[in-house]
Amino acid sequence: MAAPTAFPSDAMRDALEQWCTHLRAIEGASPATLDAYRRDVTSFLGFLTAHLGGPFGPSALADLHTRDMRAWMAHERASGLSARSLARALSAVKNFSQWLAERHGLEITPILSIRAPRYHKKLPRPLDVSDASDLLQQAGADPAQPDWVRARDTAVLTLLYGCGLRISEALGLTADVVPLGQSLRIRGKGNKERLVPVLPVARDAVERYAALYPGSLPPDGPLFRGVRGGALNPRIIQRAMENLRLGLGLPPTATPHALRHSFATHLLNAGGDLRAIQDLLGHASLSTTQAYTAVDAGRLLDVYQTAHPRAQAAPDKTAVPDAG
């Protein structure tokens, strides 16, 4: 995607930062989400600066037409932005524009009415149960690494699979969680908190790492550390997964996030309740949980027929209707 040549105006720059502050303080947006939204909106405003012929302020948004929005979308696609990324960018632009319109009393229907491009969602690819087990067993088997590093990588990967954590959630843990209890309080996307059960294997893996770590682990500092003592970089775990994947002959879809997919899918396939899994994963929408769990429509129908009261109370279609 081409970088914008200039920012529209100081007023729009300030508005963008105020919007980001609003998202962080009021809606609990994560730093990664804020960075992505800021890039998307900055690119949009940069395009408009060239498209409109110079700097502009908030009121210019009310003068935009559908053709202007389509011109921006065509520009982004021509710059190499995927349909999925463009849909995310459009969502950010609409959110920002609506927030700004409410503050300035603007009518921005052309911006809000433009449709996002269609794209095929990539379904998550969980590991087989046996592959997940093999991967965790091999996580700490590299003799070239110090004992504490092998224990650390094993602990992180065990939390991803055993508790369904995102990698950012696992690496965001502070050392005061050790020793782990029966459950773990996780602050996830949107600053939402949830409780996840902790399996004994995960508890043991974390405690073994903490015992082997050669330095100090202050309670208010990061639990998982790099070799230089700082917070562990996610890339280190991603690289460890790449090595394990190659060693075990697993497909490229075997990523750290695939362990979270596997957690959800294996629970559901074993008879877990979809709503309970939604809570464990911290999803706001059940449809998101359904996408994470790679099960067929028949399995989801079974869950529905077992759990939904209307499905349980459905009349027998073979019964003779009441004449009254």
Catalytic positions are 166, 189, 257, 260, 283, 292
Write down the H helix ranges in the chain.
10-25, 31-52, 66-78, 83-104, 109-113, 129-138, 147-163, 167-171, 200-212, 234-248, 256-269, 274-281, 286-292, 297-307, 309-312
Q: Are 195 and 185 in contact (CB under 8 A)?
A: yes
Long-range contact pairs involving 111-114 (C-beta distance under 8 Å, separation at least 24):
111/61, 111/64, 111/69, 113/66, 114/66, 114/69, 114/70, 114/73, 114/90
Beta-bridged to residue 252, according to DSSP, are none
Q: CA torsion sign, 12 to 17 to 22 to 24?
A: positive
How far is CA 144 from each of CA 46, 140, 249, 263, rounded to the nearest angstrom?
49, 10, 20, 29
Q: Report the distance separating Cα 170 and Cα 156, nearest Å.
A: 7
Q: Is residue 163 within 8 Å of 263, Cβ to Cβ? A: yes
Would you give the DSSP letter of residue 135? H
Distance separating alpha carbons of residues 316 and 21, to the nearest angstrom: 56
> How far is the C-alpha of 112 from the C-alpha of 238, rounded, in Å?
38
What is the phi/psi pair of residue 318, to 5°?
-90, -10
Closest alpha carbon to 177 in 118, 247, 224: 224
Alpha-carbon distances, residue 253 vs 51, 113, 125, 242, 259 (angstroms): 40, 36, 6, 10, 10
